[in-house]
Amino acid sequence: MKMLKGKKGAIFGVANDKSIAWGIAQMLHEAGADLAFTYAGEILEKRVRPLAEKIGSKIILPCDVTKDEEIKQVFQNIRQEWGGLDFLVHAIAYANKEDLTNPYIETSREGFHLALDISSYSLVALSRHAAALMEGRQGAILTMTYMGSERVIPNYNVMGVAKAALEASVKYLAYDLGPKGTRVNAISAGPIRTLASSGISGFKEMLHFSSERAPLKRNIDQDEVGRTALYLLSDMASAVTGEVLHVDAGYNIMGM
């Protein structure tokens, strides 16, 4: 039985076939969902379009989440094509490279605004449009976070602050949208090799450290995040909202 047969969802944040968002998309596709994809710029389009077409996606659109008009246009196209939306996956984050290498105290005002806008506020902007298409459909919204929101992770810096704001937004959005039957949750995934993680100094050491100390004594992979996303976006999680679910081989529970 395909858990999401007949369901329609939008995926924001696929960068290539190593992206966590792509791992999620594959799992949702296998569960029967129809998917729409977005990309930011021509370079990413060349990576995203072939992947989306490979699984039969008919909606592949440009979207710079710092531009309200482009966000609006995506959801207008989805309304015209599908009439509504069942779920949204938000896997977008960005910070300037210097703000991930310099000490956090040296974060510029511009760099702070950019990281918070793209990595956190974009969830609010996308959710506002998505919620209008989810009315009467028991919709679900899912975003991606990381433990750097809860504890200091060297070299994660302003992104940790942005993820903390993102997780607070999950709770407030869950409260706002709950009366309409729309759920909002986050997955806090352990470290995985992706295009985004390549910008974090010392990431290889982070992988090793995590696998050594996690209770399961290993790192995680795309499929494990994808299966958790499938659960949170399906009716199996119909009473789950406002949660941050860790998928990190148990690393987050450790003290020493």
Q: What residue segments make up the domains of the chain, in order of their start?
A: 8-247
Q: Which helix (H) or strand (E) holds 208?
A: helix 203-213
So what's the pLDDT on residue 139?
Answer: 98
Rounded Cα distance, 200 and 15, in Å: 16
Mean pLDDT of 198-220: 81
Please name the amino acid found at residue 6: G
User: Tell me, what's the pLDDT at 193?
Assistant: 72
Give tens-digit pLDDT for 52-90: 999 999 999 999 999 999 999 999 999 999 999 999 999
Question: Is the Cβ–Cβ distance between 45 and 62 less than 8 Å?
Answer: yes
For residue range 228-243, list pLDDT tens digits in order: 999 999 999 999 999 9
What local confidence, expressed as pLDDT, does residue 192 receive? Answer: 83
> What's the CA gap between 3 and 1, in Å, rounded?
6
The CATH number given to 8-247 is: 3.40.50.720
Q: In what order do the strands lie in the sheet with 140-145?
A: 59-62, 34-39, 8-12, 87-90, 140-145, 183-189, 244-247
Q: CA 244, 248, 249, 250: dihedral to nearest 10 degrees?
A: -50
How sure is the predictor about 209, in pLDDT bands with cuts at 50, 70 and 90? Answer: confident
* Cα–Cα dist 191/207, whole Å: 6
Mean of all residue pLDDT scores within the chain: 94
94-135 pLDDT tens trace: 999 999 999 999 999 999 999 999 999 999 999 999 999 999
Rounded mean pLDDT of 185-204?
76
- For the record, the structure tokens of 84 come out as 């509504």
Across the range 181-207, mean pLDDT stands at 79
Task: Scan for tokens 């979207």, then name that residue.
Answer: 63
What is the per-residue pLDDT for 1? 65
Which residues are designated catalytic? 146, 156
